[in-house]
Every structure is written in C-alpha cells, then in structure tokens.
C-alpha cells in the first residue's frame, strides 16, 4: 500500500471548515483513499472514501487531486465533537488490511 503523509496536528475554530490534507504521491491506480477518525479510547470511525472523483456524504467531503497524489478531507462546519485523530489511508483493492499511520490530531476550539 502507498504511504501517506499528514501534518501531525491542526487547529480549527468551532463552526469553521476544517481542511485536512494528505499526501500519497506513490498511489497506484487500484488504490482507494480512505479517511477514518479516532476519538480517544474509541474504535476508529469510518468517514469517507474515494478513488479519483470527489465524494461527499453527511459527514464530510473528500477532494482528490487530478493526479491522485494528494487529497483533502473537509469538515464543513466543525464542532467540538470533531476533535479527534484523523487518518488518511491508501489501500489496494486486493488487500484486506488497513494500515493506520500517525494521523492528524485535530483540535476544534470554541
């Protein structure tokens, strides 16, 4: 699976959009981009995933660059409950395991 690079931490004001970047420059054509988050002492929560088109669901939007070498997770109106570690994961469709890196620790403040 391709390696991902994320900033270790980010801050966001409550009510503002949180834009979390991820670099995956070695991604291959069969690899999807997945985003999860983990709140302390809980299991990871699936947020969104995509291959090459932008995706949106009730939680977030995923913007993938045309060359697929990077992506951005957008939380449109961050709340205090969005404070968590966010993981960007690239996984080949033929492999079962998710490889979690160190992620981005997002702190949403009032």
Partner 1 sequence: SQTIHQWPATLVQPVGSPLSLECTVEGTSNPNLYWYRQAAGRGLQLLFYSVGIGQISSEVPQNLSASRPQDRQFILSSKKLLLSDSGFYLCAWSGVGAHQPQHFGDGTRLSIL
Select the span of 6-14, 59-67, 75-83, 92-100 touching partner 1 (CB under 8 A).
Answer: 92-100
| Nearer of residues 21 and 44 to partner 1, judged by Cβ | 44
Closer to partner 1 by Cβ: residue 49 or 69: 49
- Does residue 41 bind partner 1 (CB under 8 A)? yes
Q: Is 42 in the site for partner 1 (CB under 8 A)?
A: yes
Confirm or reject binding of residue 97 to partner 1 (CB under 8 A): yes
Q: Which is nearer to partner 1, 57 or 109 (CB)?
A: 57
> Strands across the sheet with 84-92, in order?
9-13, 104-109, 84-92, 31-38, 45-50
Contact call for residues 45 and 102 (beta carbons, < 8 A): no
Contact positions toward partner 1, by CB under 8 A?
Answer: 32, 34, 41-46, 49, 51, 91, 93-94, 96-102
């Amino acid at each position: 699976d391709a390696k991902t690079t994320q900033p270790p931490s980010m801050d966001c004001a409550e009510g503002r959009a949180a834009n979390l970047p991820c670099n995956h420059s070695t991604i291959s054509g069969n690899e999807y981009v997945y985003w999860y988050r983990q709140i302390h002492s809980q299991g990871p929560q699936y947020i969104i995933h995509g291959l090459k088109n932008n995706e949106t669901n009730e939680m977030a939007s995923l913007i993938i660059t045309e060359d697929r070498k990077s992506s951005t997770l957008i939380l449109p109106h961050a709340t205090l409950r969005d404070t968590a570690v966010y993981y960007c994961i690239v996984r080949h469709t033929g492999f079962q395991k998710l490889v979690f890196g160190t992620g981005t620790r997002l702190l949403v403040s009032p």
